[in-house]
Amino acid sequence: MAVNGTEVNGSVNGEAPRPWAQPRGVGRPSTVAPFAPQIEAWLRETPGLSGADVLRRAREVGYQGGKSALYELVRRLRVPHAAGHAGSG
């Protein structure tokens, strides 16, 4: 089924959804998302690793995106670790 020339998810017609036909969301695709598992592992191994060191390591394994996107990912990945220290001080 097409609406305005765009294929509508097959589930509307009772068919099984097709992963390749799902909308990907608004904006550009993330350049940092494929590196998230590796960055998460680095942060588990070395919780005090600086954002600059994460960026350096990511560039060494092929990351070509911007530092802001990477730093935002690092910030999000650090939240569970930082939450445990919120009450100490």
- 54 pLDDT more than 50: yes
User: 0.85 cut: is pTM over it?
Assistant: no
- 3 pLDDT more than 80: no
- 33 pLDDT more than 80: yes
Are 73 and 39 contacting, i.e. CB atoms less than 8 angstroms apart? Answer: yes
Longest Cα separation, the chain: 59
Which among 64, 41, 44, 67 is positioned nearest to 55, based on CA atoms? 67
